[in-house]
Each structure stands twice: as C-alpha cells, then as structure tokens.
Amino acid sequence: MPDKTIEQLKTEIRAEILREQAREAEQRKINSHTFTKVLNEFKDDFNKLNWSESGNITRSYDGTTYPWTNNHYEAYKVKTAIGALVKATFRVNSPAKIPASKAPQLRKIMQNILNVVLSEVSATEKAA
C-alpha cells in the first residue's frame, strides 16, 4: 500500500468534504441576501404604494359620527409579485436562490416595474 494509510485518506476526504460544504454555505449566504438587498434599495419607492382612505361613519339610530381610516398596504403585494416575476426570469425556485452576480439585472427589473407602477399611481392621484 502507498505511503498513506486508509485512516489518513479518510481524514483527507473528510476535510475536503467539510471545506466544500463551508464554501457552498457561504455561497448560499451571499446569494440569499441578493434579492433582499436590492428590495431594500427601493424601500422608499415601495412605501409610496401604501395609501389610506378615511371618512366619517354616522350611526343611524343615535346620529353619532365617528371617524374611520382604512390603510391599504400595497407594497407587500407588489414585492411578492416582483418575487414571482424574477423567479420566472432567472429560472429559480425562490428569489433567495438568485445569484449575487445577477444583482444588476435584478435592480434593472425592479426599477422598470416600479417606474410603471408609480407612474400609474401618480396618474390616478392626479385624476382623482
């Protein structure tokens, strides 16, 4: 048998497997934050999508009037929709699996979608 014993070979193989697992874990960690980091760059634009309506409610039996407010949190819905679009675009099962190297393309997709949505929102607000 060569200079290396079976135990030494097992030790080397174990060490190589651990190094590979550590490298894969680090790559997953880097990639998992890509979608979230790009989303956070557009936080202010997403917040512009949230809106609320308010008014007064009058009780019919005693005539008492109460104010009411209804908040609409649309940013979450748009983020979810963008997640679905980028999953289809990059052919991944989860937005967290988008590689960090695709961040510029992801940023461009989000910017284009937000430009369309925000321009429609501002047109609707002007019409109202």
Give the pLDDT band of residue 2 (cuts 50, 70, 90): low
| 13, 47: one domain | no
* pLDDT classification of 3: cutoffs 50, 70, 90: low
The pLDDT score that the predictor gives to residue 121 is: 84
Helical (H) or strand (E) element with 61: none
Q: Which of 113, 124, 126 is nearest to 72 (CA)?
A: 124
Residues 4, 50: one domain? Answer: no
DSSP string computed for 66-99: EEEEEEE--HHHHHHHHHHHHHHHHT-SSGGGS-
Q: Which domain holds residue 17?
A: 1-32
Same domain? For 55 and 115 the reply is yes
Q: Is the pLDDT of residue 75 over 80?
A: yes
β-bridge mates for residue 65, sequence order: 58
Same domain, yes or no: 28 and 74: no
Q: Are residues 60 and 97 in the same domain?
A: yes
Say what the pLDDT of residue 115 is.
92
Average pLDDT, the chain: 86
Q: What is the Cα–Cα distance from 72 to 127, expressed in whole angstroms?
A: 19
Give the tens place of pLDDT for each residue, 20-73. 999 888 877 766 688 888 888 898 888 888 877 888 888 888 888 988 888 888
Does residue 94 share a domain with residue 39? Answer: yes
Same domain, 25 and 53: no
Residue 66 carries which side chain, given as an amino acid letter?
Y
72: tokens are 């609409």
Counting the structural domains of the chain, the total is 2
